[in-house]
Amino acid sequence: MKKYFLVCPAARIFQNTVLFLFAVALFLTCASPAAGQKEKKKKKDTSPPADASNMMIPLPDEQQIDYMLSDMLGAWQIGDIEKLHKDYADDVSIVNGSWAPPILGWTNYLAVYQEQRARMKQVRMDRSNTYIKVSGTVAWACYQWDFAGVVDGQPSASQGHTTVVLEKRSNRWVIVHNHTSLASAPPPATPPAKPAEAPAKPAAP
C-alpha cells in the first residue's frame, strides 16, 4: 500500500509535466502562424499607398493641359525646379520677350531661369483668356499673363502673351515650345483738347 501511494504522486507529477510541455508546444505552434500573419499585416499596413493618379478617371486632354499650365506657372513662381521640369520636355525650345536667340533644351533654359529667378521676390503671375486646341498627340495653347513682383529690389509689373506647343509623351502632356512676348504699355491717356476760345471783344470807348 505504501508503495502505491509513493509511486502514484510521482507518476501524476510526470504526467502533469508532460501535459504542460505538450500545452506549451501546442501554444507555440498556434501562436507562430498568428504572429506571422500579424507581421504580414503590419508589413502590408506600412507599405506606401498606391498612386492616386492611377485610380482617377482621366480628364479630357483640354482639362489636363489647363491643369498642367496652372501647375507649371505655380512652379515658376515659387522656384520649384523639379515640378517645372516635369512640365517641360528635355528638348524644349523657348523664345522669350527680349531680343535674344531662342533657348534650346531644358538645361539651357534652367540656367537662364535660375539667373532671372534669383533677382526676383514676391512673385505673382496670373493667367487669363486661355485658349487650348488639341489635335491628336499635339496641342497648342495661348494665354495672357500679368506679372507683379520685386525685381532687383524695385517693384516691377508687366503683361504679355504666351503661346505653348505641347506633345503627349508617355501619356503625359509636356511643353515642347514656349513663345512669350511682352505687351507694350498703353500710352497715357491725354486729356481732350479744349476748344479754342473766341477773342475777347474790345471794350467800348
Would you give the DSSP letter of residue 98?
S
Q: What is the pLDDT of residue 27?
A: 42
Residue 10 has pLDDT above 90, yes or no: no
Report CA torsion sign: 70, 54, 136, 168.
positive
Predicted pLDDT at 46: 45
Q: Are strands 172-182 and 88-95 parallel, antiparallel or unpaired?
A: parallel
d(CA 24, CA 112): 73
Q: What percent of the chain has pLDDT over 70?
A: 62
- Residue 163: is its pLDDT beyond 60? yes
Whole-prediction pTM:
0.63
The number of residues in the chain equals 205
Q: What is the mean pLDDT of the chain?
A: 77
The CATH number fitting domain 58-182, selected from 3.40.50.1110, 3.10.450.50, 3.10.20.600, 3.40.50.1970: 3.10.450.50
Closest-CA residue to 166 (of 179, 156, 154):
179
Residue 183 confidence class, pLDDT cut points 50, 70, 90: confident
Mean pLDDT for 58-66 is 93
Which range, of 15-19, 54-58, 196-200, averages the lowest pLDDT?
Answer: 15-19
Which of 4-13, 42-51, 56-65, 187-196 reaches the highest mean pLDDT?
Answer: 56-65
Q: Domain residue spans in the chain?
A: 1-44, 58-182
- Higher pLDDT residue, 24 or 175? 175
Give the C-alpha separation, 177 to 162, whole Å: 10
